[in-house]
Amino acid sequence: MLQWFYETIYGAAADFFAMMGNMGADIFELNWIQATIKLFTLFGWALFVAGVVVAVFDTAIEYQNGRASIKTTAINVLKGFFACSLIGVVPVKLYKFCISLQNTFSHDLSALFADGQSVDLSGQSTSALAGAFAVTGNIKITLFNLLAMIAFAYCVVKVFFSNIKRGGILLIQMAVGALYMFSVPRGYTDGFNQWMKQVIAICLTAFMQTTLLFLGLLTFPGNMLLGLGVMLASNEVPRISQQFGLDSSVRVNMMSVVHATTTAVNLTRSVARAVK
């Protein structure tokens, strides 16, 4: 009975945290959001076609100098084709998978925690009865308990708002990813590789933040200070990921954009001279 009680309580908490994570994923079920993703995908295809044309001209110019590699150009075009086909699909699927995995993991943790709490069934039942019939005047609210509750509310609220805006951030990332479709067919993949790391960082943050928050919640009743430490650590996931190259912020590789623009201008001049 007591095990069922613990599983119910912490299972409900796991469902609540899963609901917070699903807030960012549910945005992609809306028709107008899907239409926006479709627009970004079509824009990426347009840039891909332009990039293929430029790649062909680059290969032709290099062929005159004896440095052309048709195999490399074909591989780059194939990379761009797959990238353009997946920029509107893989980020959403990966994000939903991380949310589903976090929900399953939280329920398993709650069941494991309930098993540990139900080992001493008689002692837990006695404590529950003693707490139920205790005199309310003996309850003391210390400054530490008050600060702990404030910190707990701060962690929950901050993760809550982070999950709300994460779906919009992922939508922006897909729009930014479409901009790199001009460079990938031409062999410049540094910006697109960084974009993939950013998408992975968003999904990792979605999984780790809610998981650490739930782990802190499980630790909180037994040790408030350690539980708060784990929950506060959930807010540091994006910063720690950034130290290892997984930046979850939206950034455009301006050097890649400038390089692509300069190359296009130089190519136009070369074609104009060849025509003359």
Cα–Cα distance between 72 and 59 in angstroms, integer?
10
* 258 part of a folded domain: yes
**So what's the pLDDT on residue 71?**
85
For residue 34 the two structure tokens come to 């899907």
**So what's the pLDDT on residue 247?**
58
* 214 part of a folded domain: yes
* 137 part of a folded domain: no
Number of domains in the chain: 1
pTM over 0.85: no
**So what's the pLDDT on residue 130?**
43
The parent domain of residue 178 ranges over: 2-132+142-275
The owner of tokens 């530490």 is 144
**So what's the pLDDT on residue 131?**
42
* 89 part of a folded domain: yes
**So what's the pLDDT on residue 259?**
52
Q: Which stretches of the chain drop beneath a pLDDT of 70?
A: 1-18, 20-21, 113-141, 243-276
**So what's the pLDDT on residue 17?**
66
Nearest to 266 by CA among 75, 54, 113, 89: 54
Cα–Cα distance between 132 and 129 in angstroms, integer?
5
**So what's the pLDDT on residue 38?**
92
Amino acid at 260: A
* 116 part of a folded domain: yes
* 211 part of a folded domain: yes
* 234 part of a folded domain: yes
For residue 111 the two structure tokens come to 């069941």
